[in-house]
């Protein structure tokens, strides 16, 4: 009995504090400077709980996903809104991103090969790295199209919680 009680949070304020530390949610317009702001805020939220390298991977993956939405899903056109949620759990960060743009092409969900780089300088690829990086750095990448919305979800593995 006593042991069970000891595992319960001391009070509601502790619970709220924990939720604020472990969950990030933001809605923002699909344009590059708003994306920058969301990236900065999401990395800042988890900065004390993850290593610098993990923070770098988080920012890179989110940047690739969000840039794709700005450039392709909304095609740089009319004002779109992106919703980003991140939840910290014991083994990583679960991320979910939704938008109301055009459906994601099916090919994006297949892990791609790197573009061919053993070529003459003039033929070097300038794109095609984004989805490679997303697949390379994430786990359990999943996609759903529902009610004219795109929902992309994935996990970023993170080491054991750090004591700060």
Partner 1 sequence: MKLTAEASGGALVVSLGEARLDAAIAIQFKDRMREMLLQPSPRVVLDLSGVGFLDSSGLGAIVSVMKGLGPERKLELRGLTPNVEKVFRLTRMDSVFSIQPQAHQSGLRDAG
Residues found near partner 1 in the complex (CB under 8 A): 32-33, 35-36, 52-53, 56-57, 59-60, 63-64, 67, 70-71, 114, 117, 121-122, 124-127, 129-130, 132-133, 136-137
Give how far Cα 88 sits from Cα of 18, 68, 76, 105, 156, Å: 10, 24, 31, 29, 10
Closer to partner 1 by CB, 2 or 117: give it. 117
For residue 44, the minimal CB distance to partner 1 (Å) is 13
For residue 132, the minimal CB distance to partner 1 (Å) is 7
Half-sphere exposure of 159 (CA within 13 A, CB side): 12
Residue 163 dihedral angles phi and psi, to the nearest 5°: -85, 125
Residue 7 has a CB neighbour count (10 Å cut-off) of 6
For residue 47, the minimal CB distance to partner 1 (Å) is 13
Cα–Cα distance measured from residue 29 to residue 66, given in angstroms and rounded to the nearest whole number: 11
Closer to partner 1 by CB, 20 or 139: give it. 139
Closer to partner 1 by CB, 22 or 49: give it. 49
């Amino acid at each position: 009995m006593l042991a069970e009680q000891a595992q319960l949070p001391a009070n509601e304020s502790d619970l709220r504090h924990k939720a604020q530390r472990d969950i990030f949610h933001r809605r923002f317009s699909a344009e590059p400077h708003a994306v920058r702001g969301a990236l900065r805020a999401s990395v800042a939220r988890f900065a004390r709980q993850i290593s610098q390298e993990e923070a770098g991977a988080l920012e890179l993956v989110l940047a690739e996903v969000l840039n794709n939405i700005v450039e392709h899903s909304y095609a740089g056109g009319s004002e779109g809104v992106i919703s980003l949620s991140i939840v910290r759990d014991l083994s990583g960060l679960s991320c979910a991103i939704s938008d109301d743009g055009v459906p994601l092409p099916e090919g994006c969900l297949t892990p791609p090969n790197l573009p061919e780089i053993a070529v003459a300088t003039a033929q070097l690829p300038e794109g095609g790295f984004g989805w490679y990086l997303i697949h390379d750095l994430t786990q359990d990448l999943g996609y759903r199209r529902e009610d004219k919305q795109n929902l992309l979800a994935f996990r970023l593995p993170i080491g054991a919680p750090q004591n700060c």
